[in-house]
Structure 1
């Protein structure tokens, strides 16, 4: 997956080698397309490398609700809070947050929930099809996940979550403490109960998933080229992309470069997309095996713990600080502090490794999945913290859009919902 000389004919240039771009590239190659994937890094090195690994089909609500207004002071003042807004980034972030607040009004909020539910309800089966097609169904464990609570006063809040999710048709069960400890005996007695989501799961190695899909794509002729795309423009019969190694021409382009997608989208379509990034952190504990049977999220502590093949991953905080400011790895180590008291015995942090990645977020919490520019430009980005969950179904949609099929179910994800 290194540098290759230019080829004479490219049907689709995919910009971005994360989970969305790679899954789409494989889908397009299976349709007989000649595909080249352009990314300055190897496949799966961005947000796809370090996500929580949770197949989060239950998460049908946007990342924020109106309570964000009361939490804004804490977001600005507490550098370790679960939802952090760097005060130095506030002037840049303010227009995005104003759009977010407008999308929390009743009608747009309902559109967001319907859009997230539509993608998430199709995601599990789409992933099962995709992994079966590369003979790696073992990479996904469909064994559910658990949202737990510790304080008695949190029981009412959990029941409210249960009612809201049940109202959206999310399969779930309320577990009392005894059921939680029977399923996950290493959790602390402090855990009083939780919500179990049977139609969720976790990937045993999210980075391995990307690499396996990339290998399958290469087997069908997809070429992965380490190039940075700086811009592009439409041609009469295709597109031209400017890269750090010269110009690349193709009949179509798919913009799937996550949090970096806005400038290229603007140069190809003239649309200024209000894309920002949720900076997500994780702490990987390589000596922790067998602690949990499935992903467990803490209601009060607001983070997730996922058992992976190479250890236990702690993840789940959100920081708004843009693409330029350096990572605050103390936020990753804070995840270990948050875990203290959740287990009968404390976690082993020997050899622990922190990480930060950029999750692409739009103010209505929905991705853009679209075909524009008379079919020459395909778009698949803005999946916020659901990129891994929604990658397989997004690839199926992009495959249909690339063939010119009218997609009646994609109105909520159109580029046109944003003014130029």
Structure 2
């Protein structure tokens, strides 16, 4: 039985572990912090297959100054990190021309199009289908001028996304507890959400262990490639494996650098705030406020803020607590945090073209990459794992992986 070692115990590593295990591999999972202890457990729980538009858009340039000047706004670069972040943002701006955006949109569309079906197949095999709720999602607007929302609606329709227009009356029929001040919405009818992303990952891990999978809690310091075996220098011992997959999220760039690749991977810190339960049936995003509310098993999760401060920066939990003011405007009545520990922060692995790194290492046989999914790690995890498993098996993947190659930078 061939061995595969996966570096990273988040949802990307877990789904890869299960796909490879089901393909007949002996899989060892490595992570220093534990299973799903980063963004995989703290995300918004939204399988956002509708998000096919790259984040780099010229319209953002006009909004950036105001966003960056607001310390509690949806996007922030900490002053002491600005110089370090500038090269990443230069690359980000370089991806704004229409030809590049169109190419990246096609790549994202291909990845997202099959993502939910891949999740459904995986969860059905694991007898975990109940972990996904198929209630759709809403994008709401508070503005009396609905032109920007209609432009978004038309853009999604043109991109082949299943959407339905909702006026104020239709919106409040769907979700009566939303604020009466909301003017309209886009209803994404073919998306889904998880009411507990951490529990989803934990149950996937239990399935992995039950089928003979192994996990070792350690930090991987160095990757040394070889013709027959790859050697990992870990904090407690050396580990050798015929094949390895780097799926370490925002920490992946350190390991890829050792293998000859300078990947512009940034740690984009996201926050969430848990409020007491509100009777929403689906995720609700705000066009103006750039945040999302998702009904969870243990309360209402608010997320959507992004901060560039580096991997080692301490979280600024004021950014999480500030999300409550958005909920107070979007909901019919006020709600309070679940408890004093209702805030969370985690680093998303972000690349300037909004595409992950996915596929085989061009330089070294037996080394594969699966990281950099930014805001779409939960969404794309299963299909990314399915595609990479085909690569490990030396089969042709169901999607052309050229746009996701590591040497595109």
TM-score tier after normalising by the smaller chain length: over 0.9
Shift of 1:349: 2.1
- Deviation string 1:102-149 (CA, Å, 9 cap, x unpaired) is 111122111111111111111110111111111111110011000011
Structure 2 SS opposite 1:317: strand
Tell me whether 1:404 sits opposite 2:394 in the alignment. yes
TM-score of the aligned structures, taking structure 1 as reference length: 0.94
Q: Which residue of 2 aligns with 1:126?
A: 118
The aligned length equals 406
Contact 1:375/1:402 (8 A) holds in 2? no
Equivalent residues in 2 for 1:161-310, closer than 5 Å: 161-267=152-258, 269-285=259-275, 287-289=276-278, 291-310=279-298
1:318: Cα distance to partner? Answer: 1.2
Gaps in structure 2 of 5+ consecutive residues:
none
Hey, what's the Cα distance between the residues in 1 that align with 2:189 and 2:304? 20
| Aligned with residue 345 of structure 2, among 356, 360, 380 | 356
Find the counterpart in structure 2 of residue 11 from structure 1.
3
What are the superposed Cα offsets for residues 138-161 of structure 1, whole Å, 9 maximum, x if unpaired? 1100110000111112x1000111
* C-alpha displacement of 1:341: 2.3
Alignment of 1:11-30 (within 5 A): 11-30=3-22
Quick one: distance in 2 between partners of 1:13 and 1:343? 46
What are the superposed Cα offsets for residues 142-194 of structure 1, whole Å, 9 maximum, x if unpaired?
Answer: 110000111112x1000111111111101101101111111101111101110
**What's the offset of the Cα at 1:202?**
0.6
Task: Tell me which of 142, 146, 151 is aligned to 2:134.
Answer: 142
Instruction: Look up the SS of the partner of 1:379 in the other structure.
Output: strand
User: Normalising by the residue count of structure 2, what TM-score does the alignment of the two structures yield?
Assistant: 0.97
Distance in structure 2 (CA, Å) of the matches to 1:67 and 1:376: 42
Give SS of 2:316's match: coil
CA contact (8 A) 1:146 1:294 kept: yes
**1:348-385, Cα deviation, whole Å (9 max, x unpaired):** 32415100110101110000111124431110000000
Contact 1:76 1:87 in 2 (8 A): no
Find the aligned partners of 2:60 and 2:233 in 1 and give their Cα distance. 40
1:370 aligns with 2:370: no
- 1:254 Cα offset (Å): 0.2
Partner of 1:3: none
2:299 and 2:338 in contact (8 A); partners too: no
Does the aligned pair in 1 maintain the 2:56–2:101 contact within 8 Å? no
1:10 Cα offset (Å): 6.8
Alpha-carbon distance between aligned partners in 2 of 1:111 and 1:219, rounded to the nearest angstrom? 41
Partner SS for 1:152:
coil
Q: Which residue of 2 aligns with 1:6?
A: none
Unaligned runs of 5+ in 1: 1-8
Question: Partners in 1 of 2:286 and 2:68 — Cα distance?
Answer: 23
Greater Cα shift, 233-242 or 65-74 = 65-74
Q: Secondary structure at the match of 1:328?
A: coil
Tell me if structure 2 keeps the 8 A contact 1:367–1:384. yes
CA contact (8 A) 2:68 2:75 kept: no
Match for 2:307 among 319, 327, 350? 319
Q: What's the C-alpha RMSD, in Å, of the aligned pairs?
A: 1.3
TM-superposed deviation, 1:264: 0.6
CA distance in 2, matches of 1:21, 1:357: 17
CA distance in 2, matches of 1:394, 1:331: 31
